[in-house]
Amino acid sequence: MFSYLMVWWAHQVGETIGISEEIMGLTILAAGTSIPDLITSVIVARKGLGDMAVSSSVGSNIFDITVGLPLPWMLFSLINGLQPVAVSSNGLFCAIVLLFLMLLFVISSIALCKWRMNKILGFTMFLLYFVFLIISVMLEDRIISCPVSV
């Protein structure tokens, strides 16, 4: 129920100030739903359990993608006579490729920091996130176009 309200409020705010649903999802909703993960990771990392913090972040995102997305779509499809859910996103293929590249950059960054969390790694992660965010927003707003359409 609260998730529905959060999405609805974000939609209303975005509509009021002229920001698209996709951009609100990439920024406000993504940050809002990640705050509990952030708090958990900070607590665990401060206790010296960096592996657990990284594993929690990766695991929660994999859970979101493999359960959090398909379950509501499956329920929608079952309720609506097995009709598929239309997913409309500009540059969806490029966004998926971008996510994979970001994963490679994250792993490479961690390896370059000798598998230790430090300020350089933190700065690198923020930089990678902002690069991802800028490119994703540009794809959604059609400032740059994805050469592959699905």
Domain boundaries, the chain: 1-86, 89-150
**pTM, to two decimals:** 0.74
Question: What is the model's pLDDT at position 150?
Answer: 64
Average confidence score pLDDT of the chain: 86
> What sign does the CA torsion over 50, 55, 60, 65 have?
positive
Q: Tell me the average pLDDT across 113-117.
A: 87
Name the residue with tokens 């499809």: 77
Does the structure show a pLDDT above 80 at 40? yes
Whether 26 and 133 have beta carbons less than 8 Å apart is answered as: yes
User: Rounded distance, CA 65 to CA 96, Å?
Assistant: 12
